[in-house]
């Protein structure tokens, strides 16, 4: 990004861009507080699009070619809008992501256990991963990011519908319970380790990327954003592959997501922000950014043409192909949940209460009741006028 900003400044002599890089946690937790206080940057790269949508600036009046944004980013603009808004253009997707598993292929080969096929179920993968871990003494048969978003990549395959017929949250249904029961049972029978989810509490995120890079995990459910770092850091230490999302009774869908660069309402420089946004969203610059960062493009025109990912290893290119193909398997439930303005409330309630059940602090039935209560109460607080 720094290289692209330098080129922008060379072409726009009157505009100086200051880039602040902050941890992901700060974007999710600190930035909303800043924005609520009327402070914050001119633009920001965010993942909780619904959560900060109310603070975004509509760039449409400042753009030279709003139709370009509608054509190439149209399906994702809805994720950045508050309910009732059907036309604003707050920014563009710098990265489209999809959840999915990475597998340590070398461990499967060492254990002489065949890898399940592309339509295998979660239960089949759990059995195979546990068999592999037992034979090679790997501590983590399956690791799933401690994240509500990642949990739904499992629950939706089990039939979770998340919303009722009126479009209102109805989180705990039979499909949800099937997914929760699987994760709960896996922590009891050793498929998943409490060392990961149990190392933090509340809504805290806990990934297992370091454990996967250290060859401690047989199968790691995370997402396409990990490809770049795995491609660079694992090297030839072991063979790894991305595999399609395991199937459940309902489907084989992952969860979509991603990050967007959005303008902030409080900026004193809307024209300059629009010029920068147009530069970074232009097809050649966006294509260069997606290709260099090994991201799945959130630009429809570029996605249709495809990217070569010249800097990726054969493993990285193969993984990107799997995730790109996974986009066509997305359930409408997954797309709707990702675009729901209060999805962070649902994700946080689920991971907090399910985490308590796994830690032995409540039963699953108690967790279900608290999830419904938390979602109802927190959405009421958010929408209170």
* C-alpha to C-alpha distances, 227 to 203, 327, 365, nearest whole angstrom: 25, 16, 37
Q: What is the DSSP letter of 327?
A: G
Helices (H) and strands (E) in the chain, counts: 19, 6
* Residue among 197, 227, 199, 219 at smallest CA distance from 140: 219
Residue 369 near residue 204, CB atoms below 8 Å:
no
First and final CA of the chain: distance in angstroms?
A: 39
C-alpha 319/C-alpha 155 separation (Å) is 23
Give the tokens for residue 26: 């700060």
Q: Would you state the pLDDT for residue 192?
A: 97
Q: Would you state the pLDDT for residue 262?
A: 95
* Chain-centre distance for alpha carbon 6: 29
H or E element that contains 43: strand 43-46
Average pLDDT for runs of 10 along the chain of length 385: 92 91 80 88 89 92 96 87 90 92 98 96 98 97 96 97 94 98 97 91 92 97 92 92 97 92 94 96 94 86 84 89 84 89 93 96 97 95 77
DSSP E strands in 80-236: the ranges are 91-104, 140-144, 217-223
Q: What angle do CA 349, 351, 352 make, to 5 degrees?
A: 65
Q: Provide DSSP, 53-77.
A: GGGB---GGG-S-HHHHHHHHHHHH
C-alpha 215/C-alpha 55 separation (Å) is 42
Q: What is the DSSP letter of 121?
A: B
CB atoms within 10 A of CB 363: 12
Residue 161 φ then ψ, to 5°: -110, -20
Q: Would you state the pLDDT for residue 385?
A: 61
Q: What's the helix, strand, coil split of the chain in %, to 5?
A: 50, 15, 35
Q: 265: which residues sit within 8 A by CB, 6+ positions away?
A: 55, 56, 57
Q: Provide DSSP, 18-33.
A: ------HHHHHHTHHH
Residue 224 near residue 316, CB atoms below 8 Å:
no
Its pTM stands at 0.82
């Amino acid at each position: 990004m720094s290289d692209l900003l330098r080129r922008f400044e060379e072409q726009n002599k009157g505009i100086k861009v200051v880039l602040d890089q902050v941890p992901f946690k700060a974007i999710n937790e600190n930035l909303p507080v800043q924005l609520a206080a009327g402070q914050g940057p001119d633009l920001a790269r965010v993942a909780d699009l619904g959560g900060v949508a109310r603070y975004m600036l509509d760039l449409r009046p400042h753009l030279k070619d709003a139709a370009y944004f509608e054509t190439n980013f149209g399906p994702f603009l809805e994720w950045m809008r508050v309910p009732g808004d059907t036309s604003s253009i707050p920014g563009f997707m710098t990265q489209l992501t999809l959840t999915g598993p990475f597998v340590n292929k070398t461990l499967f080969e060492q254990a002489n256990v065949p890898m399940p096929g592309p339509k295998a179920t979660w239960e089949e993968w759990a059995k195979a991963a546990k068999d592999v871990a037992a034979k090679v003494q790997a501590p983590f048969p399956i690791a799933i990011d401690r994240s509500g978003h990642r949990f739904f990549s499992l629950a939706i395959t089990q039939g979770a519908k998340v919303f009722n017929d009126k479009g209102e949250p109805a989180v705990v249904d039979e499909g949800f319970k099937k997914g929760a029961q699987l994760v709960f049972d896996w922590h009891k029978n050793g498929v998943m380790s409490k060392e990961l989810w149990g190392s933090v509490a509340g809504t805290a995120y806990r990934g297992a990327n370091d454990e996967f890079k250290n060859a401690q995990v047989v199968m790691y459910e995370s997402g396409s954003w990990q490809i770049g770092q795995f491609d660079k850091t694992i090297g030839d230490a072991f063979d790894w592959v991305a595999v399609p999302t395991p199937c459940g009774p309902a489907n084989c869908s992952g969860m979509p997501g991603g990050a967007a660069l959005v303008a902030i309402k409080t900026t004193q420089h809307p024209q300059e922000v629009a010029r920068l946004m147009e530069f970074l969203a232009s097809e050649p610059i966006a294509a260069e950014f997606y290709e260099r960062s090994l991201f799945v493009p959130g630009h429809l025109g570029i996605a249709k043409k495809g990217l070569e990912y010249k800097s990726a290893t054969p493993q990285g290119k193969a993984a990107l192909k799997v995730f790109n193909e996974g986009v066509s398997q997305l359930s409408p439930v997954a797309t709707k949940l990702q675009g729901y303005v209060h999805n962070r409330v649902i994700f946080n309630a689920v991971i907090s209460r399910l985490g308590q059940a796994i830690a032995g602090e409540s039963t699953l039935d108690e967790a279900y009741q608290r999830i419904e209560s938390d979602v109802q109460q927190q959405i009421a607080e958010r929408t209170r006028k």
